[in-house]
A and B are shown apart, each in its own frame.
Chain A
Amino acid sequence: GENVEQHPSTLSVQEGDSAVIKCTYSDSASNYFPWYKQELGKRPQLIIDIRSNVGEKKDQRIAVTLNKTAKHFSLHITETQPEDSAVYFCAARLFSYDKVIFGPGTSLSVIP
C-alpha cells in the first residue's frame, strides 16, 4: 500500500524567512497530493493541493511542487508569519475514489 514520509519533523524559522517541507510517496500510481494545516486542538484544513498532471501550483505565499519521477513533493511557504505556526501534513491518494494516506507531520514554528 501507499506510504508517505515527511521531513523535517520540526522546523523553526524567523518571521519573514521561507519554510520548506518535503514528502516522498511510495506508490507511483498516486495522483493527488494535498497539504493540510492543523493548529493546536483544531481540525486539519486543506491549504493547497496538486494533481499529478501539474508540476507546480501557487496560492499567494504558499506553493507546492511535484516531481513524479522521484516521487517527491514539497510545500514552500514564503514570508512566513507567526500565524503560520502549526503542524503541516502532506498526503497522497491513489485514485479519485481511494483512501488518502497522511505523512507524520511537520511542526512549524515561526519566531517573531
Chain B
Amino acid sequence: GAGVSQSPRYKVAKRGQDVALRCDPISGHVSLFWYQQALGQGPEFLTYFQNEAQLDKSGLPSDRFFAERPEGSVSTLKIQRTQQEDSAVYLCASSPPVGLGEKLFFGSGTQLSVL
C-alpha cells in the first residue's frame, strides 16, 4: 500500500479483555515504531523494531503490553487484561533505514476504548 495501514480503526474492549492491534508498514521500511497518544497529549513512545528485532521497548507501560514483528514486516501490539487507563490512540510509524524523523510515516492509528 501507499502508506502505513493500521487495523482496526476503532476497538472497544471490556476491562480485562485482551486486544491485538495490527500495523502494516510501508513496504521496504526497516524501522517500525509504536506510540500511544492519550486524549489531549502528544504521542508517547512505546517500542521500536529494526526489521524483526525489537531494539527498544523501554516505553511499554507494563508487562501487559507486548509487541512483535516476526517477519520484519507486519507488527502486532497486544495488550492483555486491558484497563481503563489503556484507552488511547495507538499509532504505528515506519521509516526507511536512512534519515531521521522527517522520514517517519505514521498510520491513522487505532482508537482503543476500554469500558
| A complexed with B | no
